[in-house]
Amino acid sequence: MVENIRNRSIELFKQFGLWLIPSLFLLVFYFLPFGNIIFTSISKSSSSFFVVLLTVLSSQNIRQTIYFTFYQATLSTILTLVLGLPSAYLFARYDFKGKSFIRILTGLPFVMPTLVVAAAFSALIGSQGWINTLLMNIFNSKAPILNLSHTLAAILLAHIFYNTTIIIRIVGDFWSRLSPQLRSAAQVLGANRIKSVVFVTIPLIMPAILAAAILVFIFDFTSFGVILILGGPKFGTMEVEIYYQTIGLFNLPTAAVLSLIQLFFTLLLTIIYTRLSNKISKPLSLTSTKSSQNKLVSHKSKFFAGVILLLLISLTLLPLISLIVKSFVSSYYIDHSINNHLFTLDFYRELSINRRQSVTFSPPTTAIAVSFIYATLTVLFSLAIGLPAAYNFSRYGNNKINKILDPLLMLPLGTSAVTMGLGFIITFNKSPLNLRASPIIIPIAHTLIALPFVVRILTPALRSIQPRLKDAASVLGASPREVFQRIEYPIISKAIIVAATFAFTISMGEFGATALLTRPEYTTIPVLIYRFLSRPGALNYGQAMALSTLLMVIVVIGMVVIEKLRILDVGEF
């Protein structure tokens, strides 16, 4: 009895010890700045919080913004499911040539910076995009014929492009690990093919579908860069409205109320998502993915695969190819002499030329170097904080503490980046944490965003370690250090590399908080891209395409590393 109490006390002490660093990080760098900016914003109003809340909600423009935020997120999620579910079935149940390449290709958009996604669709469907260029040449028109920029269609296309891989990976990976024998058993018991799908397969994969749909909705709900570039002044979400109220009007009380509304719904969705994720992490009747997949033999299966793959490849490649080609093609020389759409490197050369002699000019080489340094620090911070949290989740499962901290860990993903940026500015500008002038504040902000992904990549890898392996090593005389070096580390090393690569790519593309926190001499690549996109003129547009292409190449390399080293049959998004 006494021994049991002692062992429980030791385990509880270990659990609290593992949560110490992640909890302190969230407390200091998330809850403190967020609470500070909300309190400061509300205190600037002469009215109470509830009066400000009623005032905000009584505004027709604000209500329309809130409605549109939910509307576009819901519509984007439904359309993503329409393409994602058939794709998930294809990847789960069939093995075909080029499958690994297609999987990498479909994963590219998700790790792509939102500004690059917006720039890619601008290059394809914008007023200067290839579709309009082709139509203008066909119909001999000087004005854009089909301008999809600043339309709901552009937003929806970008969101589908961005989030389809979530459905493929969460639903498809779970589906591929369900034993086909379950459906066969139902058919033996008298169920036909339709009934076996309706009453066996769908109920089993429904938690995965709901989890994926909620995660897609969260990303669409908090979308910023895509809406800012492709939505324009006509379409604005709560995130864009927070940015406008803060930067444009400096109306902090309204921005604070909108941030709290957004955070409330994000927290609610995050709690539901974590509950569903726990359900799909241990599905019934697991099997190897290879044993559950068939070759594309019948004409029906080949036709189905061909249609789905054509849609996926077109959706993924057309915007990216348009972006790359736009960075190499110009309708004029830099000296303004006419050159009818010939290949040129002018936009890449112009990146290093300060034609306006601006004091805030930052050459791309500096921006790339700064982004690499920030990304490297983000990797180190994310692993140092994420490993203890992931070990806790894998060791102690879904106890009460973990159930509370798991959704809290994901909160930064659904919190307004503008609000967090301002929170950092007003919180860390005085002792004892005077970080406002320090470049270290950027990788700290990036770590908040990367941490949830790092933890969810490392947790299933740590869970996959069989306890009997460690017990056997201990019985044979291995010390805890040797157990880690010889048993645990070889198993989780690939997951650590994948998590590090994911954190690196996220940091390279982060824009929201960085736009507020970055200093002119330490500009990052996404901030520089936005500067070019926000300025008029074909030269600035071409430079944005060129810089976006460079950033895309970096992300592609990272995605290849992630896909090659990911742990098969073990995954959590």
Question: From start to end of 268-424, where are the E strands?
Answer: 294-295, 329-332, 338-343
Q: What is the pLDDT of residues 301-340, one digit of tens each?
A: 889 889 999 999 888 888 888 888 888 876 544 444 434 4
Give the type of residue at 407: P
Calpha distance 198→19 (Å, rounded): 42
Q: What is the pLDDT of residues 337-357, one digit of tens each?
A: 434 456 778 888 877 776 666
Topology at the third CATH level for domain 74-320 = MetI-like fold (1.10.3720)
Q: What is the pLDDT of residues 127-144, one digit of tens each?
A: 777 787 787 878 787 777
Which two structure tokens, joined as six digits, stand for 548?
């976006």
Q: How many residues does the chain have?
A: 573
Which position has the token pair 């024998």? 181
Which position has the token pair 């395409």? 545
Calpha distance 295→308 (Å, rounded): 16
Is the pLDDT at 250 greater than 70, yes or no? yes
Check residue 186 and give its pLDDT: 63
Calpha distance 179→191 (Å, rounded): 17
Q: What is the mean pLDDT of the chain?
A: 79
Helix (H, G, I), strand (E, B) or coil at 147: coil
Check residue 76 and give its pLDDT: 95
Check residue 334 and give its pLDDT: 40
Check residue 84 and give its pLDDT: 93
Check residue 5 and give its pLDDT: 59
Helix (H, G, I), strand (E, B) or coil at 329: strand
Q: Could you state, in order of their start, the residue ranges of all structural domains in the chain?
A: 74-320
Please list, in sequence order, all residues whose beta carbon lies within 8 angstroms of the beta carbon of residue 464, skipping any fewer than 6 positions away.
491, 567, 570
Mean pLDDT score, 418-436 = 81
pTM: 0.80
In the beta sheet, which residues pair with residue 294? Answer: 94
Mean pLDDT score, 488-500 = 80
Is the pLDDT at 284 greater than 80, yes or no? no
Calpha distance 95→133 (Å, rounded): 39
Check residue 383 and give its pLDDT: 92
